[in-house]
Amino acid sequence: MKRRVVVTGLGAITPLGIGVDKSWQSLCQGKSGIGMITRFDTTDFGTRIAGEVKDFSPQDFIDRKLIQRTDRFIQFALAAARMALEDSRLTINSSSADRVGVSVGTALAGIESLEKNHQLLLQGARHQISPFFIPCFMANMASGQVAMQFGAKGPNMCPVTACTASTHAIGDAFRIIQRGEAEAMITGGAEALVTPIILAGLDALKVMSTRNEKPEKASRPFDKDRDGFIISEGGGVIILEELEFALNRGAKIYAEVLGYGLNSDAYHITSPDPEGKGMASCIRMAISDAGISVDNIDYINAHGTSTYRGDLSETRAIKSVFQERVSDIHISANKSMIGHLWGAAGAVEAIFCILTSTQGVIPPTINYETPDPECDLDYVPNVAREAKVRVALSNAFAFGGMNATLVFSQFPLQ
């Protein structure tokens, strides 16, 4: 018998706001968090818009000395973790520390610190490079700092798998608890990649929207006129616990994690398999792991990046898996409002997926204005919808052909 795993705490920082409640309310209202980039001059860039986190004050969550020693992505992780732990009321002390672990993923880690210190090197100011530069830049330091700040001495890991990183982090944490290696895991992802070098690199790849004149309209998953994704920043953390451990301490339970699937397209560095074969296989794997059938799925939180090939492949994958049931499935793409948080996307969207079930409200896919004949499913266009969601999927797909899917259900499942 596999040990059962439940969600007891949520924490998020997104372009829609600081905290889960503010982000969720804005999401359900169809508000966009996409705007003109304010953190650096974008005059010479093709894309000049992003999902920046506004009004983030790290001192609200972190000691001032630690702020000087951490990159922005680590600060997002620490803040989201603090919110999730406070929400769960999980106490980590000397008797429980060895049984509480951390798994926080990221795609590109401390890019802002890398740019800043590399500039000093180019200016001949090598001796001004911070002694904390390397710990700021390292991908695993978000997971490490979360463990150090909250005293979690159990398993500690950091998936670095591009846009599937935090979905892998949550899935791996789920497995760790199932195997009995921990009673609780602080898990999710963080990303801070709204920087000049990343914007320039993605400009060169030509994968981002250039709809600069109307930032709030730029991210339009599954719409016929989609022209690329929007980069964003932020962090999401959830607290997972073994069911009996959570019940024994009287924890509030948001949802149960039922299943996890992961695989690879093994097809192309940036493009998914055109038919969505790898994605479909991943979704089937997660459903099988959950011990349920396609008939049990009510809602899919789509990866939905607003790229032509990605959205088409995901649509084909969903059709392949659900076949004649596909028209009964509610689908929505949070990236239409929050943009693409890369390594943090899966965690933030998992939080929204969980809330969709607990609140009985499906956030819309905004900017769905011109239907694409090849993307013809129910994407909950433009306006939130009340619906009973008992079991939901959260998809994440990434450069390199990485695929990951999580299955969440109401608790108790009714």
Residue 168 and residue 129 share a domain: yes
Residue 325 has pLDDT above 80, yes or no: yes
Domain boundary among 196, 226, 248: 248
Looking at residue 295, the DSSP 8-state letter turns out to be G
70 domain-assigned:
yes
Residue 385 and residue 272 share a domain: yes
Domain boundary among 196, 214, 248: 248
How many domains are there within the chain?
Answer: 2
pTM (predicted TM-score):
0.97
- Alpha carbon distance, N-terminus to C-terminus of the chain: 21
Residue 362 and residue 330 share a domain: yes
The catalytic residue positions are 163, 303, 340
Q: Phi/psi class of residue 206: alpha, beta or left (left: φ > 0; alpha: ψ in -120 to 50)?
A: left
Please enumerate in sequence order all residues whose Cβ is within 8 A of that of 346, keeping only pairs 6 or more positions apart, or say none. Answer: 105, 163, 164, 165, 166, 167, 168, 169, 170, 189, 394, 396, 404, 406
Residue 37 and residue 152 share a domain: yes
Beta strands 330-332 and 299-301, pairing class = parallel
Domain boundary among 203, 224, 248: 248
Three-state secondary-structure class, residue 35: strand
396 domain-assigned:
yes
Three-state secondary-structure class, residue 343: helix
Residue 204 and residue 142 share a domain: yes
414 domain-assigned:
no
* Nearest residue to 264 via CA among 385, 142, 400: 400
Residue 196 and residue 302 share a domain: no
Please enumerate in sequence order all residues whose Cβ is within 8 A of that of 58, keeping only pairs 6 or more positions apart, or say none. Answer: 67, 75, 78, 79
Distance CA 38, CA 48 (A): 9
Residue 229 and residue 351 share a domain: no
Domain interval for residue 328 = 261-409
Residue 96 and residue 74 share a domain: yes
Residue 273 and residue 234 share a domain: no
- CA separation (Å) from 238 to 170, 197, 399? 8, 30, 24
255 domain-assigned:
no
48 domain-assigned:
yes
326 domain-assigned:
yes
Q: Is the peptide bond before 131 cis (omega within 30 degrees of 0)?
A: no
pLDDT averaged over every residue in the chain: 97
Beta strands 17-18 and 5-14, pairing class = antiparallel
Identify the CATH number of the domain in which residue 360 sits: 3.40.47.10
* Per-residue model confidence (pLDDT) at position 413: 81
Distance CA 332, CA 344 (A): 18
The pLDDT-based confidence of 8 (bands split at 50, 70, 90) is very high
The mean pLDDT of 181-188, rounded to a whole number, is 98
Residue 130 and residue 18 share a domain: yes
* Per-residue model confidence (pLDDT) at position 122: 96
* Per-residue model confidence (pLDDT) at position 40: 97
253 domain-assigned:
no
68 domain-assigned:
yes
Tell me what percent of the residues of the chain surpass a pLDDT of 70: 100
Residue 98 and residue 33 share a domain: yes
